[in-house]
Amino acid sequence: MSVVKNDIAGMANASGVSSVSDAGSDVEVLREQLLSLRESHAALEETVERLQRERQLLEDILNAIPDKLTVHDRAEKVVFSNWSEEDTYWENRGGDRDGTVCFGCFFRGEKYCDQCQVEEVFETRKQKVIELYNPQTREYRSITVFPVACKSEDCSMVAEYVRDVTATRKMERELRVAKEAADAANKAKSEFLASMSHEIRTPMNGVLGMLDLAMDTELDEEQREYLESVQNSAESLLALINDILDFSKIEAGVIELDNQAFRLRKRLSALHTMFVHRAEERGLDFRFSVPDSVPDGLMGDPLRLRQVLVNLLDNALKFTESGQVQLAVDVVQDFPDNSVEIEFSVTDTGSGILEAHQERIFDSFAQADGSFSRRHQGTGLGLAICKRLVELMGGNIKVKSAPGQGARFSFIIPFQLAYLEEKPVARKAGSAEKKPVAACRGRILVAEDHPVNLLYIEKFLKKQGFEVQAVSDGTEVIPALREREFDLILMDIAMPEMDGMGAAKAVRASSGLKTPSTVPIIAMTAHAMKGDREQFLAAGMDDYIGKPINSDNLLSLILKYLLQNQA
Ligand code: ADP
């Protein structure tokens, strides 16, 4: 300490300080200033060190980012870049980045690349995103260029953010190719379904039709018994084929619901007639409840609605040994826009279903209990089809049940109301009326190439009292109409030379024939795929009937058009 004091005194003397005591206080001040300077210097050094560490951290982070970031200033110089590695995309890359224009340091070029967005972003101060492809390296880069450090009117820097998107684009391309392959496979499946549907239904039409005719001939008891059992088996086979085809069509997304005006009560009463006898035969009470509040005219698909209800009622009868089965219909909600939600429920007092099985029974090929179902025939497809159909109609099917307590299947469907004109009730075509309809004679041309189907239709129509002429190809239709006047044409769709649609178009475009070009044409089709109905109508046909042909439906359709023309 004394050495320091002596030094300071020496410094004071050298500076010409007069008295030793004055010099002592000045030295004290200087000493304090020096100490504070030292402290400030140490703090400054610490701050500089901290900032350097932080800068290094930021730089390390930026350099570690796999994407490339470059910041350009107004003078087109590179202010910062994390391009530390070679990037195969930019073949000319190389050089020193510091303080050089980007094309100089990265690409050794003499000007900005053609696609460069830096200048434009300096002008517009708006972000731009572009994507580049290098055909040599087969790589893609997504480049985002955005302004940095912008003041109100100016922007001092622009940054470029370059990301390698080659893997993403490759994956997208692979997904696209896979989707195209899946679409093609799905289309092939739909086409297979369409042709299988046709191939199976056509011979089934022949089997059932000829059986129908055979049952009307004179048979001894034994023969009748045999034929009845053939008929039962054929009908079960058809039901099974229909279920499998329906299910596959729903899965392939090729099923299309109709949206036509229909009378709900008329459809429900047909169901009542169908099930009341079957319930009686099994000693069950069949109840039916449709209060007046349920509207009658609705828009929807009555056939699919019927399909669901028939399935549920079939099951209810199948799994109920005693007690009752009830079909109830009720309004859930009325909406001011002329729409309504209706609940349909089928309740039985049968075996019921364990809670654990209740979800599963709506899966395809699922049965609540394998051993039980062996006693009761079935494929396990019925409820899966019902579920999908109800969903297509905008509803959701539910089950409430407990073992030994019966089951209640219900679903709610939204409908638009339809205002149907009151029409005189048309002649009812029930099985009891398969007798000749004398009041409605007419001459019908049948175009059908399948000999067994043709034989059945011809015989059936002749029995009803119609005059029938047959041709086996679309090309023979016009010559037949030239010769005679027909009241109606039944037209098969798939025929060898000219199909039914071609023939229908030819009829509508014809003139000067004995049969007018407006003659009703009903398509007969084993196809029942999405869009078919529209195609038939677009070809000029009036209606269509699916194969295997149900004789009651065929007769009522024919009567509808003949009566219309006679009116
Ligand atoms: P299946 O052709 O076997 O009847 P479903 O899909 O219609 O096929 O029904 C699946 C299973 O659900 C049936 O096998 C049966 O176990 C059960 N199930 C359906 N309805 C009822 C019911 N009303 N009562 C009891 N079990 C039922």
The model's pLDDT over 172-191, given as tens digits with 9 standing for 90+, comes to: 999 999 999 998 887 787 67
Q: Above 50 in pLDDT, residue 372?
A: no
- 556 Cα–ligand 1 center, Å: 33
- 320 Cα–ligand 1 center, Å: 11
Top CATH class of 64-169 equals alpha beta
Alpha-helix runs per DSSP H in 448-488: 451-463, 477-483
As for ligand 1, residues whose beta carbon falls within 6 Å of it are 311, 315-316, 319, 348, 350-351, 353, 361, 367-369, 373, 378-384, 407
Multiple choice CATH, 443-565, 3.40.50.2300, 3.30.1490.190, 3.30.70.20, 3.90.180.10: 3.40.50.2300
Give residue 542's pLDDT band: very low, low, confident or very high (50, 70, 90): very high
Best substitution site from 246, 319, 359, 376 to test ligand 1's pocket, by max atoms within 8 Å of Cβ?
319
Cβ–Cβ under 8 Å, residues 486 and 441:
no
Domain 178-252 has CATH 1.10.287.130: yes
- 19 Cα–ligand 1 center, Å: 121
Query: For ligand 1, atom 14, which residue shows the shortest CA distance?
Result: 367
Provide the whole-model pTM: 0.53
Residue range(s) occupied by CATH 3.40.50.2300 in the chain: 443-565
| pLDDT, mean over the chain | 82
Cβ–Cβ under 8 Å, residues 362 and 387:
yes
- 169 Cα–ligand 1 center, Å: 49
Cβ–Cβ under 8 Å, residues 138 and 166:
yes
Which are the contacts of 398, defined by CB distance < 8 A and separation ≥ 6?
409, 410, 411
Looking at mean pLDDT, say which of 101-110, 229-238, 300-309, 526-535 comes out highest: 300-309
Cβ–Cβ under 8 Å, residues 491 and 503:
yes
Best substitution site from 351, 353, 385 to test ligand 1's pocket, by max atoms within 8 Å of Cβ?
353
Give residue 90's pLDDT band: very low, low, confident or very high (50, 70, 90): low
Residue range(s) occupied by CATH 3.30.565.10 in the chain: 260-417
Angle at Cα 49 formed by Cα 48 and Cα 53, nearest 5°? 115
Residue range(s) occupied by CATH 1.10.287.130 in the chain: 178-252
pLDDT of residue 72: 84
Looking at mean pLDDT, say which of 7-21, 363-377, 542-556 comes out highest: 542-556
- 196 Cα–ligand 1 center, Å: 27
Atom of ligand 1 nearest to the CA of 316: 23
CATH number of 260-417: 3.30.565.10
pLDDT of residue 212: 85
Best substitution site from 361, 365, 381, 397 to test ligand 1's pocket, by max atoms within 8 Å of Cβ?
361
- What is the β-pairing status of strands 155-164 and 68-73? antiparallel
Tokens coding 59: 């730089």
Q: Point out the least confidently predicted range of 11-25, 482-496, 550-564.
A: 11-25
